[in-house]
Amino acid sequence: MDKKKIAITLGIVCLVLTISICVQINTVKNANSTVAQSFTENSLRDEVLKWKEKYDNILNQLDNSEKQLSKIREEATKNDTTASNKEEQITLNSNLLGITDLEGQGVEIILRDDPNATRETIGVLDDISYHIIHDADLRYIVNELKNAGAEAISINGQRIVNPTAITCIGNVIKVNDEKITSAFTIKAIGLSESLAGIDRPGSYVELLRENGIEVTIKKSSKVKISKYTGAISAKYMNLQK
């Protein structure tokens, strides 16, 4: 074999070896990247699970404490009319504050964005934002229910209490600083006939329907509303001296 053939053969061998080494290096890099990403995701998942477990434990402790306190109050008010009246007042105040689970007659309202709202279906001159539910719509419905005599209200499981804020950041609606999404289920306890009366000619509900928003209102003899689980605090209120 002459020198020229030997040189060509060696060149081909070197090229193959170089390509093989490059492929192996890239494979190792990708493997390391995948392992690192997987490790990070697992660490974050473990951290989230730990915090969720802590939250659940604290919530269970709070529930147990409330049950124990209720038993103590019940024992303390036995055979004592004055104490019994005070206990009834405490229970009423707790219900009004939103820190107890409630059940009673009322309505369940479900709101859904216009399912047919696209640029092709609504036209160029129409505003597509009219066809989706906003935080202002939820606030308006809540106020209508309050005016109709609602004693307790929740949206997607979030109890409406005095410090509750219904806000929108970008396209995300928050209630009690918790993200909620369509469909929106609004529950209200009160005289069901009066609460269902928010669906009337010329009402805000009718306006929503005109914009394609799906609104269903169902009367029920047993509406269940969960308690508010956040913290209620007062920075500036004090009893008069």
The pLDDT of residue 129 is 80
Which residue from 102, 140, 133 is spatially nearest to 115, judged by alpha carbons?
A: 133
Domain ranges of the chain: 1-66, 102-225
Residues in the chain predicted with pLDDT less than 70, given as ranges, are 1-17, 20, 22-39, 55, 58-59, 61-62, 65-66, 69-70, 72-87, 90, 92, 118-126
List the structure tokens of 104.
Answer: 């009673």
The pLDDT of residue 189 is 97
pTM check: above 0.75: no
φ and ψ of 106, to 5 deg: 170, -145
**What is the crossing angle of helices 3-76 and 81-97, to 10°?**
150
CATH homologous superfamily, domain 102-225: Protein of unknown function DUF881 (3.30.70.1880)
Distances (CA, A) of 148 to 58, 142, 190: 36, 10, 8
The dihedral through the CA atoms of 18, 19, 24, 25 has a sign that is positive
